[in-house]
C-alpha cells in the first residue's frame, strides 16, 4: 500500500478509529491490531512475502529469549550466528544472489573464461533491507546485553512489522521503539497534530517535488546521450531533489503516521542540502541507516581508534557496505566509495565534526554549502545510472560543455509547465527548510495556515495520474 494512494487514505482513518476507539482499553489488543494492520499493509503488495517477515520475527524472538537464558559464551555466539545467518542469508539470497553470480561470471570473462551460469528470477521483497536490519539490531543488542529481550511475541511482531516504517524505514532500534509497545498509549493532541503536519509536509515532498522532478530525470537519464551539458547537469541536480523528496517524504509520512498512534520514531533526514561538508551531509542524510552502520559496523571494527590506516580502512568499509546495502549493482558501491573518498580528507584533517553544534547557516558559509551540493550531485549520478559505463558516459557528456542550451525544460508548453512547477516547489521546499535550519529545528514546522497552503499546493501541483513508486522500496 502506497502512502500516496487512495487505499491508504481509506486504511489510515479506519485504523485510527479502531485503534483509538475500539481497542483503546487494552494494550494487547492495540498491539494485535497493529500487527494485523501491518500485515494487511504489507500483503497489499505481495502476501507471499509475509512469510519472510513472520519467519524473521519468530527466529529473532526465539533467539533473543534463548540468549537471555544462556550465559555460556560459545552458545551465545552460536545463537547470534543463527540470527545473522538467517537475516543476512535471506537478504543475500533475495537481493544479491544474481549480482554475485553475474559478477563471478564477469570476472572470469576478463580472463577469457566464458561460464554459462544461469541466474534466478527472484522478486525482491519490498522493504527486506529495512526490516532485516531492524531485527538484526535487536538480536545484536540482546547479545551485547544492552537491552532485555521481550517475552511478548505480539509486541515483538508489532516492533518488526510496524506499518509506518516497515517498508522504507526509519530503521528503528529496539531500545527506542520496542519499549513503546509495552507502554500504555494516551492520545496526545499536540503530538498527533505535529504528526499530521509532518504527513502533509512529507506528501508535498513526495507528490509535488519528487514526482514532478521524475518527469525530467527519467527522460534525461534514460536517453542521456541526446542531451546537452547543461541539461545533464540539471538532470543530475533534479535527481538529487527527486531522491531527497521521495525518501525523506516517505520518512516524514512514516514518522507522522506513527505519531498519530502515539509512537515516536527517530528523525531520518535533517535538511541534508544545507550541509556545509560531506561529514555533515552524512549526519543529516538517512540518519537511521548511517547510525546503524556506525553502531554495528564502524565501532565494532574499531572506529577511529587505532592507527590512521585502520581508521581509513574502517571508513571505507562502512561507506562501501552502505552503498552495497542500497542495491546489488556496482554503481551503488562506487557511490559509497566516492562518499568515502570525500569524507576521508575531513577525517584526516580532523574537521569532520565541525558543524555539530548549530545547523544555522551564515552567509559566508554559502560557498561551502554549494560545493557540498555539487559533490553530492556528482555522486548521485552513480546512484541513478543503470551501470558504471552509463555513469561514466553521463559525466563525460556533462563535462564536454556542449552549447545547445537546456531546451528540454522549455521546448513545449508541457515541459515549461513542469519546469515552472519544479522550480516553484523546490523554492518552497528550500524556503521552509531554511527557516527551520536557521531556528535550529529538527523538522519543518507548519502553522495552520501554512499547512492549508501546502495541502492546496499538493492538490494542484502534485502528480496523481502516474505517480512514481517510492525509490527506496527497491532497496
Partner 1 sequence: MLLFIKKAGFILLVFISISTIISFGSLWSLRQSSFYKPSFLVNNVLEKEFDYIILGASTGLTTLNTRVIDSVLHTNGLNLSMDDTALSSQHLMLEHFLAQGKIVKFCVVAPSINDYDVKSNVLSGNDYRFLPYINTSYVSNHYNRYSSQSAKLLYGSKWLPILGVSYYNTEIFYPSLLALINPKKRNRFDEKGNYGYPNKNAKSRSITEFKELPISFQNIYLEKISDLCKLNNIKLICYFSPINAKKVVTETDDYTILNHSDLLKNTSFFYDDIHVNYKGRQISSEAFANDFKLMIK
Binding residues (CB under 8 A) for partner 1: these are: 6, 20, 187, 189-190, 192-193, 196, 414, 417-418, 448, 451-452, 455-456, 459-462, 464-465
Which of 129, 130, 177 is closest to 156 using CA atoms?
177
Instruction: Respond yes or no: is residue 339 known to be catalytic.
Output: no
Catalytic residue among 176, 286, 326, 364: 326
Q: Least distance (Å) from partner 1 to the CB of residue 58?
A: 36
DSSP string, 359-421: -PPPGGGHHHHHHHHHHHHHHHHHHHSSSHHHHHHHHHHHTT----TTGGGTSSHHHHHHHHH
Q: Least distance (Å) from partner 1 to the CB of residue 447?
A: 10
Which of 95, 97, 93, 117 is closest to 105 using CA atoms?
117
Q: Least distance (Å) from partner 1 to the CB of residue 448?
A: 6
d(Cα 428, Cα 69) in Å, to the nearest integer? 55
Eight-state DSSP code of residue 424: H
Q: Choose between 107 and 456: whose C-beta lies nearer to partner 1.
A: 456
Contact 196, 273 (CB under 8 A): no
Contact 94, 131 (CB under 8 A): no
Using alpha carbons, list the distances in angstroms from residue 240 to 10, 234, 243: 32, 10, 6
SS3 helix, strand, coil % of the chain, rounded to 5? 75, 0, 25
How far is CA 362 from its chain centroid?
A: 29
Q: Choose between 208 and 278: whose C-beta lies nearer to partner 1.
A: 208
Q: Choose between 40 and 455: whose C-beta lies nearer to partner 1.
A: 455
Q: Least distance (Å) from partner 1 to the CB of residue 103?
A: 41
Using alpha carbons, list the distances in angstroms from residue 21 to 8, 26, 187, 271: 19, 11, 11, 36
Q: Least distance (Å) from partner 1 to the CB of residue 459?
A: 4
Q: Choose between 88 and 455: whose C-beta lies nearer to partner 1.
A: 455
Q: Least distance (Å) from partner 1 to the CB of residue 196?
A: 5
Which of 153, 132, 179 is closest to 61 using CA atoms?
153
Q: Choose between 240 and 256: whose C-beta lies nearer to partner 1.
A: 256
d(Cα 358, Cα 373) in Å, to the nearest integer? 19
d(Cα 109, Cα 206) in Å, to the nearest integer? 42
d(Cα 111, Cα 440) in Å, to the nearest integer? 56
Which of 121, 384, 86 is closest to 243 using CA atoms?
384
Q: Least distance (Å) from partner 1 to the CB of residue 242?
A: 17
Q: Choose between 122 and 417: whose C-beta lies nearer to partner 1.
A: 417
Half-sphere exposure of 20 (CA within 13 A, CB side): 15
Q: Least distance (Å) from partner 1 to the CB of residue 260?
A: 8
Using DSSP's 3-state secondary structure scheme, residue 173 falls into: coil
Q: Choose between 403 and 414: whose C-beta lies nearer to partner 1.
A: 414
Q: Choose between 381 and 458: whose C-beta lies nearer to partner 1.
A: 458
Q: List, by residue number, the catalytic residues.
A: 326
Amino acid at each position: 500500500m502506497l502512502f500516496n494512494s487512495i487505499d491508504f487514505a481509506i486504511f489510515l482513518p479506519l485504523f485510527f478509529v479502531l485503534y483509538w476507539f475500539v481497542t483503546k482499553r487494552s494494550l494487547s489488543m492495540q498491539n494485535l491490531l497493529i500487527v494485523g494492520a501491518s500485515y494487511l499493509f504489507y500483503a497489499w503488495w505481495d502476501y507471499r512475502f509475509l512469510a519472510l517477515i513472520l519467519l524473521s520475527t519468530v527466529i529473532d524472538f526465539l533467539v533473543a529469549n534463548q540468549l537471555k537464558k544462556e550465559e555460556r559464551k560459545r552458545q551465545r555466539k552460536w545463537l547470534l550466528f543463527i540470527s545473522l545467518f538467517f537475516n543476512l542469508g535471506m537478504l543475500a539470497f533475495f537481493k544479491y544472489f544474481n549480482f554475485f553470480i553475474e559478477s563471478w561470471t564477469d570476472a572470469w570473462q576478463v580472463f577469457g573464461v566464458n561460464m554459462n551460469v544461469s541466474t534466478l528470477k527472484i522478486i525482491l521483497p519490498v522493504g527486506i533491507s529495512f526490516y532485516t536490519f531492524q531485527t538484526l539490531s535487536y538480536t545484536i543488542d540482546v547479545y551485547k546485553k544492552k537491552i532485555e529481550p521481550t517475552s511478548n511475541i505480539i509486541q515483538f511482531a508489532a516492533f518488526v512489522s510496524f506499518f509506518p516504517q516497515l517498508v522504507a524505514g526509519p530503521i528503528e532500534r529496539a531500545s527506542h521503539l520496542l519499549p513503546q509497545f509495552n507502554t500504555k498509549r494516551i492520545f496526545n493532541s499536540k503530538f498527533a497534530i505535529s504528526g499530521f503536519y509532518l504527513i502533509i509536509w512529507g506528501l508535498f515532498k513526495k507528490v509535488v517535488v519528487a514526482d514532478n522532478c521524475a518527469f525530467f530525470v527519467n527522460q534525461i537519464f534514460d536517453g542521456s546521450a541526446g542531451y546537452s551539458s547543461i541539461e545533464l547537469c540539471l538532470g543530475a541536480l533534479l535527481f538529487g531533489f527527486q531522491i531527497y523528496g521521495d525518501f525523506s517524504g516517505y520518512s516524514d509520512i512514516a514518522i507522522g503516521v506513527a505519531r498519530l498512534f502515539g509512537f515516536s520514531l527517530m528523525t531520518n533526514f535533517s535538511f541534508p542540502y544545507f550541509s556545509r561538508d560531506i561529514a555533515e551531509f552524512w549526519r543529516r542524510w538517512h540518519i537511521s541507516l548511517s547510525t546503524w552502520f556506525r553502531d554495528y559496523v564502524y565501532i565494532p571494527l574499531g572506529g577511529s581508534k587505532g592507527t590512521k590506516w585502520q581508521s581509513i580502512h574502517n571508513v571505507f568499509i562502512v561507506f562501501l557496505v552502505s552503498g552495497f546495502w542500497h542495491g546489488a549493482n556496482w554503481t551503488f558501491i562506487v557511490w559509497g566509495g566516492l562518499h568515502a573518498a570525500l569524507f576521508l580528507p575531513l577525517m584526516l584533517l580532523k574537521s569532520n565534526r565541525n558543524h555539530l553544534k548549530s545547523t544555522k547557516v551564515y552567509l559566508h558559509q554559502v560557498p561551502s554549502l554549494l560545493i557540498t551540493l555539487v559533490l553530492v550531485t556528482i555522486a548521485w549520478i552513480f546512484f541513478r545510472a543503470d551501470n558504471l559505463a552509463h555513469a561514466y558516459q553521463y559525466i563525460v557528456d556533462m563535462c564536454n560543455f556542449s552549447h545547445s542550451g537546456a531546451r528540454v525544460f522549455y521546448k513545449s508548453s508541457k515541459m515549461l509547465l513542469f519546469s515552472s512547477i519544479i522550480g516553484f516547489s523546490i523554492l518552497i521546499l528550500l524556503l521552509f527548510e531554511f527557516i527551520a535550519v536557521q531556528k535550529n529545528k529538527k523538522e519543518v514546522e507548519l502553522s495552520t495556515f501554512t499547512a492549508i497552503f501546502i495541502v492546496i499546493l499538493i492538490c494542484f501541483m502534485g502528480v496523481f495520474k502516474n505517480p512514481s513508486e517510492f525509490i527506496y522500496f527497491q532497496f
